[in-house]
Amino acid sequence: MADSWVGLAGRIGSDLHLDLEAGGRGSRRAVLGRALREAIRDGRLAPGTLLPPYRSLAADLGLARNTVAETYAELVAEGWLVARQGSGTRVAPRAKPAGSPRTPKAAPARSDPPAHDLRQGLPDPSSFPRAAWLASARRALNAAPGEAFGPGDPRGRAELRRALAEYLARVRGVRTDPGTIVVCSGSAHALRLLFSGKVLRGPLAVESYGLPFHRSILQAARVRTVPLALDEHGARTTDLAESKGVRAALLTPAHQFPTGGPLAPERRAAAVDWARAGGGVLLEDDYDGEFRYDREPVGAVQGLDPQRVVYLGSVSKSLSPALRLGWMVLPEHLVEPVLRAKGEREAWAGVTDQLTLADFIESGRYDRHIRRTRQRYRDRRDRLVDMLARRAPHIAPTGIAAGLHAVLRLPPGTERSVTKAAARQRIALDGLAHFRHPAADAPAEDGLVVGYAAPADHAYGAALDALCRILPPPSGTV
């Protein structure tokens, strides 16, 4: 018996020595506890092993007896060791996990980054205005009242809702006051709250081309979606009156996503008329309303009737999708139901970013940032259009008056082979088929959705070049 624990003390001693050398923060007791846990984890101290009396170990290691005694007690409290009166302290039978000592497994492999990133919807990450954002953060955090760091208003910080109410009225023609704005993490979060939280019910009319992740959120909420046909005037909202049972419609009026046109005035009016006549609700996804190049922005439909429209916006295109910061402007009667659906502990944007964005907007930094990036994306769009005119004049870019992407119309039947070629060349982009509602009536059209904002400046030329090389030749030349 004496022999066995003397040997063990030696082993523990040397292990501990190693760990004491390796350092790490904390008292000697903390270091000793860590070393013992490690030895048990690794299997160096097997379940059932008798530990040396704390006096012996203390002597071997040159530690105070109390230090070792307290460490033992602590590991007993944590379930690593068991102590029985008169029979000493042993490694607990279940302390070693089933299976062999675990070597940390590599993180699940993520796919390699693309050679050229022409995905839609992504702003150039290098355009994030770090210095200006930090300046606003400093000002906002220093000025914030203490209660800002308490549990807070589930609608989001009042500072931000005030700034947004003023900004959205000025820039997007949205009619609101801070009481009807609810801060969230973006349009996906908003749709989940509205439909999984049963604030709104389906069936929901959606544009026959739209974001697949919107459809999957709605599917998860068991909301049936009914596709609305699109034509050169945008979504055929005039069909809403004939869609039996539809209670809400999700639209992208400023810039149809992804095909790119604004909703025609009479279609805007028809949508509002439908909502008024039948108690319906319009969801206006104003995902890139600030980025219009060839004329002033088209104002929000929300301004036509704030009591019939839920307006959704975010900073995902204007600043960064990584901020996870967005907002809903709600009809008054929906504010309380949304807050109930959100719940007091629901995920929402952190207070530091909310306060920072409020200052960023009110200081005029947001306007300046938008102007700068708008100019930059306009230049990129022009380069794309020029490149096509020179190298692929048979391919018509459409939806180019606004946004961070264009649609390249392809000859019928060619989209699949082109997107396959893109995948082979590691060009990240999607074909129109990716966005098409599975129940859409009209025949599928061939096209590529080309985002021109994501690549860094130095990489954009090469990305355009790679794109041109996978485009199909003019028909008749093959």
For the segment 106-165, give every residue that binds a second copy (CB under 8 A): 106-108, 110, 122, 125-126, 128, 130, 133-134, 137-138, 141-142, 144, 146-153, 155
| Angle of CA points 464, 467, 473, to nearest 5° | 125
Distant-in-sequence, close-in-space partners of 173: CB < 8 Å, separation ≥ 6: 299, 300, 302, 303
Q: Is residue 418 involved in binding a second copy (CB under 8 A)? A: no
Q: Is residue 60 involved in binding a second copy (CB under 8 A)? A: no
Q: Is residue 178 involved in binding a second copy (CB under 8 A)? A: yes
Q: Identify which of 343, 341, 345, 285 has the alpha carbon closest to the alpha carbon of residue 309.
A: 285
Q: Is residue 273 involved in binding a second copy (CB under 8 A)? A: yes
Residues forming beta bridges with residue 234, ordered by sequence position: 231
Nearest residue (CB) to a second copy, 162 versus 437:
162
Q: Is residue 1 involved in binding a second copy (CB under 8 A)? A: no
Give yes or no for a cis peptide into 331 (omega within 30° of 0).
no
Distant-in-sequence, close-in-space partners of 446: CB < 8 Å, separation ≥ 6: 409, 410, 411, 412, 413, 414, 415, 431, 432
Which phi and psi (to 5°) does residue 181 adopt?
A: -105, 135
Going residue by residue from 370 to 399, which x/- string records binding to a second copy, judged by CB under 8 A?
------------------------------
Region binding a second copy by CB under 8 A among candidate stretches 3-11, 88-96, 233-241, 405-413? 88-96
Q: Using the rule CB under 8 A, which residue among 215, 268, 380, 409 binds a second copy?
A: 268
Q: Is residue 195 involved in binding a second copy (CB under 8 A)? A: no
Please give the Cα distance from 196 to 192 (Å, whole number). Answer: 5
Going residue by residue from 208 to 247, which x/- string records binding to a second copy, judged by CB under 8 A?
-----x--xx------------------------------
Q: Using the rule CB under 8 A, which residue among 116, 175, 215, 436 binds a second copy?
A: 175
Distance of CA 337 to the CA centre of its chain: 24
Q: Please, what is the minimum distance in Å from the beta carbon of residue 475 to a second copy?
A: 35
Q: Using the rule CB under 8 A, which residue among 272, 330, 338, 464 binds a second copy?
A: 272
Q: Is residue 76 involved in binding a second copy (CB under 8 A)? A: yes
Would you give the end-to-end CA distance of the chain in angstroms?
Answer: 88
For the chain, percent helix, then strand, then coil, each to nearest 5? 45, 15, 40
Name which of residues 310 to 349 contact a second copy (CB under 8 A). 319-325, 332, 335-336, 343-349
